[in-house]
Structure 1
Amino acid sequence: MAVETRPRDVQPYPLSADTLALRSRTWDRLKFEIEYGLQKGTTANSYLIRSDKTALIDPPGESFTEVFIQALQERFDLRTLDYIILGHTNPNRCATLKALLELAPQAVVVCSNPAAIALKDLLKDTEPTLHIIKKGDTLDLGKGHNLEFVLTPSPRYPGHLCTFDPATEILFTDKFFGAHVCGDQVLDEGWQVYEEDRRYYFDCIHATALRQTLLALGKIADKPATIYATGHGPLVRYSRQELLNNYQTWAEKQKNEISVALIYASAYGNTATVAQALARGISKAGVMVETFNAEHAEPEDIKTAIANCSGFIMGSPTLGGHAPTQIQTALGIVLANAEKTKLAGVFGSFGWSGEAIDLLDGKFKDAGYQIGFDPIRVKFKPTDVTLKTCEETGTDFAQALKKAAKRRKPKENVASTSQTANLEQALGRIVGSLCVITTKQDELSGAMLASWVSQATFNPPGFTVAVAKERAIESLMNTGTDFVINVLQEGNHLGLMKHFLKPFGPGEDRFEGVETTEAENGCQILSDALAYLECKVANRMECGDHWVIYATTDKGQLLQSNGITAIHHRKSGTHY
C-alpha cells in the first residue's frame, strides 16, 4: 500500500559545506522483491562530495535515472565529475551508471574487485576506467576528504563496500541500516517510528547472511562516524549507536543449532530474489540460514557449511540450457560431503527451459536424498504471489528440520518432566475465544485460526492478538495493514475450526470451499461467523516465538444475535 501518489523526484539536503545528499524518492512500491513488501515507497540515497576532486557515491537505479541526472546537471557540470563510487553493483544501478558515463566519460568508477568483475558483463558496450579498491585503500579528494573504504561483502552483494569520510565523519553505508520508507524527513529524528521498518529491512537483507553481517558490523564499529548515510530511507544520526547495537542483537538471535545451507547463483537477479524469499521463510521459523553465492563463495566454506547443516537447498538459473559452471562445482562439493540423511531442496529461474533445475533435482534424487519440496520453477521475474509461496516453502522446510531434530532429542528425566507438565497444565487453563483472522493485500490473502485474542483498550477500541513468527499470515500483518477478525460461534464453529486448522501447502488458497463476503477494508468476512471486526494493525511487539499485534477497530457487526462465542480449552500450555 503506497502512502501517497506523487511524481518521483530528487530531494537535496546539505550534510556539510562540501557534501550533498540527493534522495531519489518514490511513493510507489518500486520492485517485486521481498524487502519492498511493506509497500511504503522508498528513497534511493546518493551523495555528492565536491572538494578539489568531485565524487558521486551510489547513483540510484534506473527508475530514477532521468530525474537524478537532471538534478545533478542543475548543480554542476558533469564534465567535472572525477569519481563515481559504487557501494554495490546490479543491473538496475548500472542503467544509471551507463547514462552518467555517457555524459561524464572522464569519471573513474571506484569499486571492489567482485564489483569490477560484474561490471564487465553489466557494461558490455562501455569501457569505463576502473579504480579497484583493496583492503586499506584510500582516495584523497583534497581538503581532508581522504576517503577510507570498508569491504563488507555478502552473498547477495559480493562487491559491497562502505565509504568513510574523516573530514565530515560520515560513513556511507549503502545496504546497511536502511529502510524502505519514503517521506520528507531526511534524518532520523523521532527514530523509534522507524524501528519496525528497519527490523523488517534487516530480516530481509542481512539476517540470512549471519557470518558476513557480523564481520561487517565489526568493521563498521571501528569507524568514528557520527552519521550513517544509508542507501535507503532516513539517514542515521540520532539512533546510530542504538541501531548498531540492534543489528548486533538481531544477528546474534539468528544463531541456531539447526541450520540450512542455501547455495545459489543468479544471472539477472531473479534466482537471488527467490533465494531471498526462501531464506526469509526459513529464518522466520527460527532456523539459521547460511547463504552462499556460488559465484563468489570459497569451496571450503561451502564444504564446511554442508557438513554442519541440517538441510540444504540449491538454486540455479539456466544459461544456454545448462547450469553455470560455479553451480556445477558447488553441486560436486554437496554430493561429496552431504550425508544422505539431510533434507534437500531445489529452485531456480529461467527464461525458456529450466534444465538446470532438472539437473539439480535429478542428481539429488539419484543420490538418495530426501527432497523437502517440489522443485520451485520461476519463469522470468517472480511476482508477489511467487515470493509469498517461496517464503511459505522455506518455513515448511525449516519446520520439517525442527521436527526431525525434536525426534532425535533425548528424553528428559522424570523429575524434570513432572515439573514441566505441571507448568504446562496450569498455563493451558488460560482460555481464549476462537477467531479466524483474515487479510488481503492486492493478490495476496491469508487466514489463520487464533485463540490468543484479548481486548486491550476502550478508547480507541483495540485488542491484541499473538501471531507465531512462522505463521504465513505474519508477513501480511505489519503496522498499517488491514485485517478482519471473525469471532466463531459456539455450536457452529467445528467446520471452520477444522478447515483452518489443517496444514495448507505453500501458496494454497485458504478460502476454497468457505463462504465469504468482502469487508469495506477489502478483507474476507466468514459468512458463518458470530461477529466480525474490521481492524488495522497499530503496533507490533516481538515476544519470544510470537509477535503480539495491537490493532484498533472502528467497524464491526454481530451476525448472529442469539449466539455465544466459541471458547478454546487447552490441556497444555505448550501448543494451541
Structure 2
Amino acid sequence: MTNKLEIAKNSYWVGYVDDRKVPFHRLILEKGTTYNSYLLMTEKPTVIDTVDIEFGRVYVEKLSKIIDPKEIEYIVINHVEPDHAGALPALAAKAPNAKIVTTALGAEELKDMFKLHNREFIIIKDGDKLDIGGKTLQFFETPYLHTEETMITYCIEDKILYPCDQFSTHIATYELFNDLAKENYMDDFEVYYKLIMHPHRPYVQDMIEKIKELDIEMIAPSHGYILRENAQSFIKAYNIMSQPSDESKKALILFSTMTGNTTKVAKLIGEGLEDKGIEHRIINTKNASNEEIKEAIMAADAIFFGSSTRYADMVGNIEEVLKDIKDMNLSNKLAIAFGSYGWSGEAVQVVHDYLLESNMKVIDSSYIIKTTGMDHVQLPLRVKFVPDEKEQNRIMEVGRVIGDLLLA
C-alpha cells in the first residue's frame, strides 16, 4: 500500500495496517486492526490522530515522505490512548512548529504522558472551529466515548466526521473504504460497539444529539473501514443500539445515621440518580420494618447501603439488614457501599465487606475503571463530615454513574 490514500480533495489516510493477531483490552483481535491517521494538506497542514505507539517511528518515516513535518501546523488528538496518540511524541519531535489541538483534559494527560509541557496546545470546547487554510474544522466534546477527554472532529467543507473510536471496526483492511470491503463487516462493527461503546450508552445518545445537524457524507474513524458508503446508516445503527431500555430501573438507598450527615449523602446520591431518570427510594433503616426493607430490596435494581462511623463500626440497625441479604437471592442487583465519618471512617469498608459476602454485583472503583474507563469515581463512597460544594458534586456523580450502569 502507498504511504497515503486520498479520501477527499487534499485529505489523505496516512495510517498503519496491523494484520497480526493484536492484543487489545485483554482481548485478541483475530482480524487485526488498522490505526487510521489523516493528513489534511491545506495552507496550514493538519494531522488528525496518529497511530499506535509501537509503530511511531515507521509512521513518522512514512509521513515524512509525503510532507516535511516542519510544515505541519496542527496535530489534532481526539483521544489520548496510545493506539491513537502513541506516535505523537515521535511526530512532535519532527514537527516542532505544530500546535496540538485537543480538550483541556486531553492536554493535561498528553503533557504528563509524553512530557510535552513545553508544547503549545489549543484547547477546544463544544462547537469551536479552526480555520486550517482552505478547510474548517469543528470540534465537539464527547466524554466517555470511551474515556473522559475524548472529542470528535468534523471538516465542514469535506463533510467528513473524524470520530476517533466511535464508528470503528477492528479489522486489518487494505481496502480501507467500506464500499470496497471483501467481507461482511457489520458483525465486527456491532461487536466493537458492544465491547467499547455500549457501557457508555447514554453518552452515545449525547454524541448523536451533537452531530444530528451536521451534513455528514463520510465517517473516517480511527480503526477499520472509512465509511463513505451509506455513512448515515451507521449513525442510525448507533442510535438504535444505544436507545434506553423500555424497562424502567429502580434504585434503593438504605442507611443508618448518627448526626444526619449520612442522610445528606443519601439525598445527594438520589439527586444524581434523578439526573439519569432513575426512580429511587430513600429509607432510613430505623424508620422501616425488616419486612418493608426486604420488599424494597427485592423491588430495586441497585441498592446503596450506607452508615455513619462510630467507634470504627456501623451505627443503627444497618448491620441486621446486611446479615439478612446473605440469605436472599439478589444476583441480578447492583450493590454499593457509602457513608459519612468524622475521623476514621471504617464503617463504609465494613459495609462493603458484608456486600462481598452476598451474591450481588458489588460496584467499586475497580469495577468502574474496568467497565467504563472512569477513574474519578471513588467507591465505596466515603464522605468526611458535612459535604461541601465540591463533595456534593462528587456524591451526585456517583448517583449518575450508577444510573448509567443501570441504563446500560
TM norm structure 2: 0.64
Structure 1 partner of 2:106: 115
Alpha carbons of structure 1 residues 259 and 91: separation in structure 2 relative to 1, 3 Å? farther
* Mapping 1:480-519, distance limit 5 Å: none
Structure 1 partner of 2:23: 31
Structure 2 partner of 1:364: 352
Q: Count residues in correspondence.
A: 300
Structure 1 partner of 2:58: 67
Is 1:223 the counterpart of 2:214? The answer is yes
Is 1:77 the counterpart of 2:68? The answer is yes
* Mapping 1:346-425, distance limit 5 Å: 362-365=350-353, 370=358, 372=360
Q: Secondary structure at the match of 1:208?
A: helix
One-letter amino acid of the counterpart of residue 63, structure 2: L
Aligned-pair distance for 1:16?
2.5
Aligned-pair distance for 1:67?
1.6
Structure 2 partner of 1:167: 157
CA distance in 2, matches of 1:107, 1:153: 25
CA distance in 2, matches of 1:362, 1:240: 52
Alpha carbons of structure 1 residues 127 and 196: separation in structure 2 relative to 1, 3 Å? same
Is 1:181 the counterpart of 2:160? The answer is no
Q: Secondary structure at the match of 1:233?
A: coil
Q: Secondary structure at the match of 1:72?
A: helix
Alpha carbons of structure 1 residues 104 and 300: separation in structure 2 relative to 1, 3 Å? farther
Aligned-pair distance for 1:243?
1.3
CA distance in 2, matches of 1:302, 1:119: 32
One-letter amino acid of the counterpart of residue 79, structure 2: H
**2:131 aligned to 133, 140, 143, which one?**
140
One-letter amino acid of the counterpart of residue 164, structure 1: Y
One-letter amino acid of the counterpart of residue 46, structure 2: A
Aligned-pair distance for 1:368?
9.7
Structure 1 partner of 2:48: 57
* Mapping 1:393-472, distance limit 5 Å: none
Alpha carbons of structure 1 residues 377 and 89: separation in structure 2 relative to 1, 3 Å? closer
Structure 1 partner of 2:8: 16
Q: Please identify which structure carries the higher strand content.
A: 1
Alignment check: 8 A CA contact 2:51 2:86 kept: no
Structure 1 partner of 2:396: none
Alignment check: 8 A CA contact 1:89 1:118 kept: yes
Alignment check: 8 A CA contact 1:210 1:254 kept: no
Alignment check: 8 A CA contact 1:146 1:167 kept: yes
Q: Secondary structure at the match of 1:43?
A: strand
Alignment check: 8 A CA contact 1:207 1:254 kept: no
One-letter amino acid of the counterpart of residue 10, structure 2: D
> CA offsets per residue over residues 178-214 of structure 1, 9 Å max, x none?
1000121111116681110100011011111111101
Aligned-pair distance for 1:73?
0.8
One-letter amino acid of the counterpart of residue 75, structure 2: I
One-letter amino acid of the counterpart of residue 215, structure 1: D
* Mapping 1:184-203, distance limit 5 Å: 184-189=174-179, 193-203=184-194
Higher relative contact order (CA closer than 8 Å, sequence separation 6+)? 2
- The structure number with the bigger radius of gyration is 1
CA distance in 1, matches of 2:216, 2:126: 19
One-letter amino acid of the counterpart of residue 170, structure 2: H
Alignment check: 8 A CA contact 1:29 1:41 kept: yes
Structure 1 partner of 2:95: 104
> CA offsets per residue over residues 365-415 of structure 1, 9 Å max, x none?
36899452689999xxx9xxxx9xx9xxxxxxxxxxxxxxxxxxxxxxxxx
Aligned-pair distance for 1:360?
7.7
Q: Secondary structure at the match of 2:67?
A: coil
Alignment check: 8 A CA contact 2:335 2:362 kept: no
Q: Secondary structure at the match of 2:352?
A: helix
Report % sequence identity.
Answer: 22
Q: Secondary structure at the match of 1:15?
A: strand
> CA offsets per residue over residues 76-97 of structure 1, 9 Å max, x none?
1111111100111124544411
One-letter amino acid of the counterpart of residue 72, structure 2: L
Structure 1 partner of 2:395: none
Alignment check: 8 A CA contact 2:35 2:84 kept: no
Q: Secondary structure at the match of 1:207?
A: helix
Q: Please identify which structure carries the higher helix content.
A: 2
Alignment check: 8 A CA contact 2:3 2:63 kept: no
Alignment check: 8 A CA contact 1:98 1:126 kept: no
Alpha carbons of structure 1 residues 11 and 207: separation in structure 2 relative to 1, 3 Å? farther
Q: Secondary structure at the match of 2:118?
A: coil
TM norm structure 1: 0.46
One-letter amino acid of the counterpart of residue 45, structure 1: N
One-letter amino acid of the counterpart of residue 161, structure 1: M
CA distance in 2, matches of 1:122, 1:220: 30
Aligned-pair distance for 1:123?
2.7
Q: Secondary structure at the match of 2:148?
A: coil
Aligned-pair distance for 1:241?
1.9
**2:144 aligned to 140, 148, 154, which one?**
154
Alpha carbons of structure 1 residues 59 and 374: separation in structure 2 relative to 1, 3 Å? same
Aligned-pair distance for 1:304?
5.1
One-letter amino acid of the counterpart of residue 140, structure 2: V
Structure 2 partner of 1:90: 81
Alpha carbons of structure 1 residues 82 and 200: separation in structure 2 relative to 1, 3 Å? same
Aligned-pair distance for 1:359?
10
Alpha carbons of structure 1 residues 90 and 362: separation in structure 2 relative to 1, 3 Å? farther
> CA offsets per residue over residues 473-504 of structure 1, 9 Å max, x none?
xxxxxxxxxxxxxxxxxxxxxxxxxxxxxxxx
* RMSD of Structure 2 on Structure 1 (CA): 3.8
